[in-house]
Amino acid sequence: MTKTALKKGFLWGNSVSSMQTEGAYNEGGRGPSVYDIREAGEYVSDWKVATDDYHRYPEDFDLMQDLGMNCYRFQISWSRVQPDGEGDFNEEGIQFYSDFIDALIARGIEPMICLYHFDMPLNLAKKYQGFMSREVVDNFVRYGKKMVDVFGDRVKYWLTFNEQNLYSMPGCAKIAGALETPETLENILKITHHVMLAHAQVAKYLHETTDDQIGGMLAYTELYPATSKPKDNFYTEQINQFYNYNLLDAFNGKGYIPAYLNLVAQNDFDFIQPGDLTIVQDQYSDFLPFSYYRSTTLSADEISDLSDLLQHSSNFYQDNPNLKTTEWNWQIDPLGFRNIIVKMWNHYRKPIFPIENGIGVIEEWDGQNEIQDDYRIAYHRDHLQAMKDAIEIDGVDVVGYLGWGLIDILSSQGDMRKRYGVVYVNRTNHDLRDLKRFPKKSYHWLKRVIQSNGADLSE
């Protein structure tokens, strides 16, 4: 492993969403979101308290400062700053985030804002079916511009949508707030377009009114053909085109890929209106952020056509027998991480920024002894080395490295058992306990890594 440090100013940090951390679901003037009506289950918490970051964020920021982190990507809860998503803004909610940002800056931590992470204001979901509707596109743009206006003087880095390519995949209706919308091919392509329209208008406004930077974000899973069959390779590339390069091209001012526009036209879908494609093309990303956790393979044996692939893609994924797999059936592949970094850089020559990476593991604390999470150290060590290889061997410009939920949070499904953190939070799915924070073994390792600016990755 190389012992060289990363460039001066490299960003080390942590990423989270509001619903997985904040709690305080009925405090501070916050309105309901779609998460507030989700029912708890045996392995699913409700979202009322989460890790109580609304009240405890100074404690968490102190831990980040002690670790040496200099960047924190958090999400603004749309419902907290605009309770119904379309009416008046809530000054108490805006003040909460203003104080939150000031607290980060006071500790030398660069704030990065994400505007939307699946938690549509409930009113917009019920009234308009979320991003199925142009009204919600317009409301999001109004919300996004307001946040830029009030925080743009202190926040340099921005995201519109968490993992925006998920709005092109099965499951897109749920995260887009379209709770009663069938996921037909037309609706998947429509949601893809509406979300991009919203992103493009906010990105353009930010560039027109500030010197800040914004990036369009992907959830990037490295995908290999399951075999050397030409059909496996062909449909693997089709997935890559529709789920990754369609948006990456748009983020970089090229507009959509021709295949996306052809699919819309050939099916006589009419959701692209005059002027839309100019809006999509008339903006750009300053950096290319993405999440990465795993890779998988695709078998095309049962795929009938492109429509079948885009509507049911998860049905065709298979485990890779050459990789280790976590208890959540996510396959560990640091080389896939490097490959994605290199591919994006070679295609677009924009600074690359991995802003989510980590391993989720079921962990229990005995109440006394430090959790010995060597598996987490190994995961981050190997991925950091892969990133360094992309920088030092492949010549990539990488902005920073943000882990996911490095202080334990609820999982995206609401399961507190799936822990990513280097800090343990003392609660279970249904027992809040005392919510105290306790560093794990990986905390001390990561602190040393950051102090050396990535030069020392040894265990």
Positions in the chain whose pLDDT score sits under 50: none
**What's the pLDDT score for residue 324?**
97
Considering the candidates 86, 110, 163, 222, report the single residue annotated as catalytic. 163
Query: Against a cut of 0.75, is the pTM above it?
Result: yes
Architecture of domain 11-452: Alpha-Beta Barrel (3.20)
Q: Kindly list the strands in the beta sheet with 288-291, ordered across the sheet, starting from the edge strand earlier in the chain.
A: 218-219, 288-291, 352-356
For 149-180, write each residue's pLDDT tens digit: 999 999 999 999 999 999 999 999 999 999 99
Assess contact for 281 and 250: CB atoms under 8 A.
yes
**What's the pLDDT score for residue 182?**
96
* Residue recorded with tokens 């400062």: 65
> In 3-state terms, what secondary structure has residue 187?
helix
Give the number of other Cβ atoms within 10 Å of residue 88's Cβ: 8
Closest to 383 measured CA to CA, from 361, 399, 359: 359
Is 356 among the residues known to form the active site?
yes
**167 φψ region: left (φ > 0), alpha (ψ -120 to 50), beta (else):** alpha
**What's the pLDDT score for residue 2?**
62
**What's the pLDDT score for residue 3?**
83
Assess contact for 120 and 179: CB atoms under 8 A.
no
**What's the pLDDT score for residue 196?**
98
Domain residue spans of the chain: 11-452
Q: What percent of the chain has pLDDT over 70?
A: 100
**What's the pLDDT score for residue 459?**
83
Assess contact for 129 and 183: CB atoms under 8 A.
no
